[in-house]
Structures are given as C-alpha cells and as structure tokens.
Amino acid sequence: MIAEILLLVISFLILLSLGVPVAWSIGISCLLTLAVSIDSIAAFTTMAQRMATGLDSFSLLAIPFFILAGQIMNQGGIAHRLINFAKALIGSLPGGLIYVNVIAAMLFGAISGSAVAAASAIGGILGPPMEKENYSKEFGAAINVTASTTGLIIPPSNVLIVYSLASGGVSIASLFLAGYIPGILMGLALMLVAAVWIKKKKYPPGEKTNVKRIATSFLDALPSLLLLVVVIGGVVLGVFTATEASGIAVLYTLVLAAIYREINLKKLHKIFLNSVVTTSIVLLLIATSMGMSWVMSFENIPQTVSDALLGLSDNKYVILIIINLLLLFVGTFMDMTPAILIFTPIFLPIMQSLGVDPVHFGMIMVMNLCVGLCTPPVGSVLFIGVGVAKTTIQKVIKPLLPLYVVMAIILLLVTYVPQISLWLPSLFE
C-alpha cells in the first residue's frame, strides 16, 4: 500500500512540475496507481466509470449556470455600477479608492461567484484612476487580489456547491448562510490593513460625496444587488434549489444586461463561448478529482491519514491547526475545486469524529484554499491581479505580507470560534 501511495503522490507532483494541467496530472497519476494494483484494462474502465459517476449529479448543474451568470455580469456593466456605489459611499475618505476596491470586489465576487472575474473586472476598472492619483500600483494589486477571494466565501459560491458534493450532501443553503460573516470579517480585516497603509502614506481625501449621489448610485446598483437577495433568499427559504437558483441568476443577469444595453449579440456569443471553456475546465477537474477520491479510498489512504493524525494527538484544537497548515500548503500548488474534492473525504471524517460540524469545516476549508489563490507559485487570482495591474509578483509580495497575516488571523478566528460560521444557519433551522 505504501508503494501505491508514493506512486500516486510522486507521479502527481512530477506531472505538475512538468507543467501538465492539473486535471490531466490527477487523471494520469490515478491511472498509474490503479494499474499497479489491478489489471490495466480494468484500471482504465474503473477510472472512466468513476469520472462519469462523479459528474452524474443534479447539484453540479449549478456550476455552468453560475459561471455563465458571472460572465454576463462581467461584460454587462454591473461592475461599473457597483464601483460607482462604493465610490459614493466611502470614496471621499483618505485613500478612498483602496476601500472602494475592497467593497466592490466583495460585492462583485459575491454576485458573480468568481474571484478571477472580480480581480480582472474591478482591477481593470479601478487600476487607471488609482494610478492617476499616485496610489501604489503594487499595494493596489495586493488589495485587489486578496479582496477578490472573499467572493468565494460570500455566497452564492461554486466552491461551496462542490464542497456539498464532496461531503456527501451537506445542506447548500446552510453553507451559503455560513459564508456571510466569515467573508465580511475577511473584507473588514483587509480594510484595516489598508487603513494603516493609507495613514502611513498620507493619502489625501478622495472626491467629496453627498446624500443625493449615494442615493442615485445605490438605485443604479440596486438591481445588481437584488440578485443576491433573490438567489440566496430563494435557496434559504426553500422556494427553489441551488441548481434552480443558478438558472434564475442567468435569466436575471440577461434581462439586466438587456436593460443596461451593454451586451450585443456579438458579445453574447463570446460570453457563451468563454463560459463553455471555463465550464469544461472545471468539470474535467471535478471528474478526475472524483476519480482520485475513489482511488484513495481503494488504497485506504483516508484511513491511513486519519490514524496518523489521531496518533499525533487526540486534541481537537491541535488537529485543527495541523489540518489548517496542511490545507494552506495544498492551496499553494493546487486549485480549489480539486483540493476540495480530494481532501474533503480525507479530513471530514476526522473532523466529525472530533465533533466539528461539517458546515463549519466547509468554511475552514474554503477559507484556507482562498489564501492559496493569492499565494505563489500557482495562485490563479494572484496572476490575474498582477497581470491587470501590469506589475510583477516579486514587487507585489511585500505589500501582500501584512494582508496574509490578517487573513491568517481571521482564518484562526473562524476555525476556533464555530459560531462565526454556524450562527446564521442556526437561525433558519
């Protein structure tokens, strides 16, 4: 068994280091491991079956629809309206554009469910005015990158749907509700670091605002913000499922884009194509990751890891910090979706045996992996944010360090104070 585990891990890491896409790396390493244990024809057949079975889930239909809704929002003028609202609200403060970036990224990330979309849209719109007003390009990029990940914690979020699938059916409505307070706390912590930076750099106050401007920009952004109310409210109140909510989100955003007149048929064609490409990548990752989960169960890896961890300590708090460190490490080289699908079946049974709620553990897991999205060497949001800001990772790392620290503090708070995640879901039980 040790030989199979080593083959699985080493082949996966070698393939990744050679630049093979993650989905293919997972699939090939699984095939190699199975081929050692069983007949090669049976290995291929089993892997194909597990990949097909992994995608045979009604809940997964939500992912392509939310991806499409996010793409429509990205092109449909919604980001501009959210930024204008955030500017009117707090843009007059010293260094106001930094705060605007955080709030806009939180709102847009939550509405679109995509950290990459938030980083590219918000960074692309706010980058030029920030540069014009002599803001630090590097700190602006660092704030944009970290703030964009909060949209994966604040619902509706594709990764929470993936976690529900990987955990064996944890309530999506409970997961959605659980994400609000941790996500908002993360955003406020980033704004606190920004406040210290702004004071240090002595940035001047921004453009003055008034009640009329706030009211006008709010009304302009209201239809976009209402999407959150419709989707989350409908899921929580049991009016429709998360999958049905994703379809409603697509219809809502299409109607909104038509009203705003920011999308024509040519743009719509491109949006559909981009959505198909993104969906294909995500679903291939899900298929191969589900295959890997089965291979690990077949090789008895979850039980081995569980025995090893519980052998180190039977203290819940010690195990939690170990799992946090492992997930932070995993997040530096693996994308969120495969990481959730692979490691949930390993860690969740351990957590449940120690009395940790599956909803609470879902938050811990997602927040850990969010940090990974803005951490080298693989952090996809980091690369997008740096590319949009036209700077380099080397220059952005220094302003990122204090942001990493506060993200780690919020992560520890959420880890050791379960009510931060569980209070809201408990109100709707």
Which tens digits make up the pLDDT trace of 14-56? 888 888 887 888 889 888 888 887 887 888 888 888 888 878 7
| Those residues with Cβ within 8 angstroms of residue 109's Cβ, 6 or more apart along the chain or in another chain | 115, 117, 118, 147, 148, 149, 150, 151, 152, 154
Q: Which residues pair with 205 in a beta bridge?
A: 94
CA atoms of 247 and 231, how far apart (whole Å): 10
Of the chain, the percentage scoring pLDDT greater than 70 comes to 98
Identify whether the C-beta of residue 108 lies closer than 8 Å to the C-beta of residue 154.
Answer: no
∠159-165-171 over CA atoms, to 5°?
85
Place of tokens 């209070």: 423
Mean per-residue pLDDT of the chain: 84
Rounded mean pLDDT, 175-190: 92
The pLDDT-based confidence of 222 (bands split at 50, 70, 90) is confident
Q: 0.85 cut: is pTM over it? A: no
Q: What is the pLDDT of residue 137?
A: 83
Q: Is the pLDDT of residue 422 over 90?
A: yes
The pLDDT-based confidence of 108 (bands split at 50, 70, 90) is confident
Least confident of 90-94, 188-192, 229-233, 276-280: 90-94
∠314-317-319 over CA atoms, to 5°?
55
Rounded mean pLDDT, 306-316: 79
Nearest CA to 189 among 91, 102, 110, 92?
A: 102
| Those residues with Cβ within 8 angstroms of residue 339's Cβ, 6 or more apart along the chain or in another chain | 327, 330, 331, 369, 372
**Phi and psi torsions of 205, nearest 5°:** -60, 150
Place of tokens 């460190």: 325
Q: What is the pLDDT of residue 192?
A: 92
Helix (H) or strand (E) holding 234: helix 211-236
On the question of a cis peptide bond just before residue 358, with omega within 30 degrees of 0, the verdict is: no
408 vs 301, residue with greater confidence: 408
Nearest CA to 98 among 55, 146, 58?
A: 146
Helix (H) or strand (E) holding 281: helix 265-298
| Those residues with Cβ within 8 angstroms of residue 54's Cβ, 6 or more apart along the chain or in another chain | 286, 287, 289, 290, 291, 293
Question: What's the token pair of residue 26?
Answer: 């997972």
Count CA atoms closer than 13 A to 353's CA, side-chain side.
Answer: 14
| Those residues with Cβ within 8 angstroms of residue 230's Cβ, 6 or more apart along the chain or in another chain | 248, 249, 252
Q: What is the pLDDT of residue 1?
A: 62
Condensed to tens digits (0 to 9), the pLDDT of residues 374-420 reads 887 667 788 888 888 888 888 888 888 999 999 999 999 999 999 99
Q: Domain residue spans in the chain?
A: 1-56+286-298, 57-263+299-427
Distances (CA, A) of 331 to 47, 297, 380: 25, 22, 11
Q: What is the pLDDT of residue 429?
A: 67
How many residues are given for the chain? 429
Q: What is the pLDDT of residue 60?
A: 78
Identify whether the C-beta of residue 429 lies closer than 8 Å to the C-beta of residue 181.
Answer: no
The pLDDT-based confidence of 423 (bands split at 50, 70, 90) is very high
Nearest CA to 361 among 319, 302, 402, 397?
A: 319
207 vs 375, residue with greater confidence: 375
Question: What's the token pair of residue 378?
Answer: 């693989």
Condensed to tens digits (0 to 9), the pLDDT of residues 136-168 reads 888 888 888 898 888 888 887 788 888 998 888
| Those residues with Cβ within 8 angstroms of residue 188's Cβ, 6 or more apart along the chain or in another chain | none
Rounded mean pLDDT, 80-105: 80
DSSP letters spanning 139-183: HHHHHHHHHHGGGGTSSS-HHHHHHHHHTT---HHHHHHHTHHHH
Condensed to tens digits (0 to 9), the pLDDT of residues 234-279 reads 887 878 887 888 888 888 888 888 888 878 788 888 888 888 888 8
Q: What is the pLDDT of residue 3?
A: 77
